[in-house]
Structure 1
Amino acid sequence: MAAHGPHAIVFANEKGGTGKSTTAVHVAVGLAMQGARVACIDLDSRQRTLYRYLENRSDTARRRDIDLATPRFEAFEGSSEAELQAQIDRMGEGADFLLFDTPGRDDVPARYVATRSDTLVTPINDSFVDFDLIGKVDPESFEVTKISFYAELIWEARTRRARTDGLSIDWVVLRNRLHNLEARNQQRVGSALDALAKRVGFRVIPGLSERVIYRELFPSGLTLLDKGQLGQLGTSHIAARQELRQLIAALHLKLPVPA
């Protein structure tokens, strides 16, 4: 999005229910905890999940009188690309990372930031229902038959970006809500993703498992990384925290060097 500005991270999926906002919040807080200056813009004017999550986090910090690493955050309330770009310029000032959460539907502002991102993260549930966003498979062999309109859009944006400024969008498909069951389905989805990744050029990384604690943390705005505020954690929660750390590392984001 900017040669010398903040690194733009866009969480985008035109289907809802993929854990997109939860993942976005945890990545934003995780980067802030590592000393990065992070700003967030919530483009979902209806749900505002990322905005409300971080708002809850700020309220908890005030209520408990504690210091919680919290990114700067705003919601986009405009209607034009010019208004969005003005907000991007303002929020990006002095930031190392500018993170966007987009709505689970086709949306003009979401396309605007997705095609101008540095890192594009597309969380999907591990099923062919969600795979359909990026590609089609044969119903008998489960082999990839074509790429979707959304995948074509991102592929064209990456090609155009490489031609104009020599940069490229690092497109990451995040396999969220993996289960230990349904191993055959996971293998089929995994094989289809690997095949499509070679054609379109995205990376596939493991995401977050389905865990109740992610929903329970929303009212307080806390994350699994807030060790001192969560009390006694069970084994599954410790595993989830490690899962989250591995996810953030797999995004290959370059953190600022401490002064």
Structure 2
Amino acid sequence: MAHIIVVGNEKGGSGKSTTSMHVATALARMGRKVGTLDLDLRQRSLGRYMDNRAAFVASRSLDLAMPLHADLPEAEAAREGENPSDRRLSAAVQALEGEMEFILIDCPGSHTRLSQVAHSLADTLITPLNDSFVDFDLLARTGPDGKILGPSVYSEMVWSARQVRAQAGLPPIDWVVTRNRLGAQQMHNKKKVGEALERLSKRIGFRVAPGFSERVIFRELFPRGLTLLDLKDVGVEKLNMSNVAARQELRDLITALDLPDITPDF
């Protein structure tokens, strides 16, 4: 059985697609068979990234590691009582599962039936957050004094996905929340958000892991479908300090995910 990694939350602009691109490509570069699915059927950021990567590799005759990206099959007539979205996602996962060691699913920044079902399939769930209380609100409601009042609708959805897995006799979801766009300044806010996440993690059951800082390199590489791990393969002989730091952030993230039989070697 492939290990299924779901990257999701219900807020746009938090770095889901950047995380998906780098985790999937890092695993592929480590020699693992990786399949990817993009459930944002309108924007398709991960899908377009994979298209860009395939086109760039072909244009330069490069031999770069490539995750296998699959599109959802067209909806077929559902059986009685079956949701068509469930059928599409199930068919896509089954098509990849026999050949892949890992399947990474990138969810849209909104609540959809596809996203809801994907969360119930997750062995590992990665929820990227920008480091602010605006994004913290995705996980829990807080009062003016910072006191946690209760879980958010997204946290409740993850709880429901956990219940579905338990009823099916599947292992529990390993839920990992990553802190993206950590600023070098605003240390007071960073500390407050960090403390709030640690308190909440114990209440609703997730782990906190390092994410990605705000770096221009991530946006620059998208049109070619590259990651910072590919730079030397495309002729960049010397990495600048920002690129070196970004590689370390990715290494730290892969290590923190604690995926089966994976030790970063880059």
Q: TM-score, normalised by structure 1?
A: 0.93
Identical pairs, percent: 48
The CA distance in 1 between the partners of 2:26 and 2:234, in whole Å, is 15
Shift of 1:254: 1.1
* CA spacing shift, 1:139–1:77, aligned 2, 3 Å: farther
1:255 alignment partner in structure 2: 261
* CA spacing shift, 1:230–1:246, aligned 2, 3 Å: farther
Say whether residues 1:76 and 2:72 are aligned partners.
yes
Say whether residues 1:196 and 2:200 are aligned partners.
yes
The CA distance in 1 between the partners of 2:178 and 2:239, in whole Å, is 25
Say whether residues 1:24 and 2:20 are aligned partners.
yes
The CA distance in 2 between the partners of 1:256 and 1:201, in whole Å, is 23
Q: Is the 8 A contact 1:45 1:75 kept in 2?
A: no
The CA distance in 1 between the partners of 2:20 and 2:56, in whole Å, is 19
Aligned residue pair count: 252
Q: Deviations over 1:133-175 (max 9, x none)?
A: 11012212x1212111211221232244235415100001011
Q: Is the 8 A contact 2:116 2:161 kept in 1?
A: no
The CA distance in 2 between the partners of 1:116 and 1:158, in whole Å, is 9
Shift of 1:115: 1.7
Corresponding residue SS for 1:8: strand
Say whether residues 1:233 and 2:239 are aligned partners.
yes
**Residue among 103, 106, 113 paired with 1:108:** 113
Q: Is the 8 A contact 1:10 1:120 kept in 2?
A: yes
Q: Following superposition, which runs of at least 4 residues in structure 1 exceed 4 angstroms of deviation?
A: none
Q: TM-score, normalised by structure 2?
A: 0.90
Say whether residues 1:94 and 2:92 are aligned partners.
no
Unpaired runs of 5+ residues, structure 1, are none
The one-letter amino acid of 1:165's match is G
Unpaired runs of 5+ residues, structure 2, are 76-83
The CA distance in 2 between the partners of 1:208 and 1:54, in whole Å, is 20
**Residue among 123, 130, 134 paired with 1:125:** 130
Comparing 17-26 with 220-229, which one deviates more in the overlay? Answer: 220-229
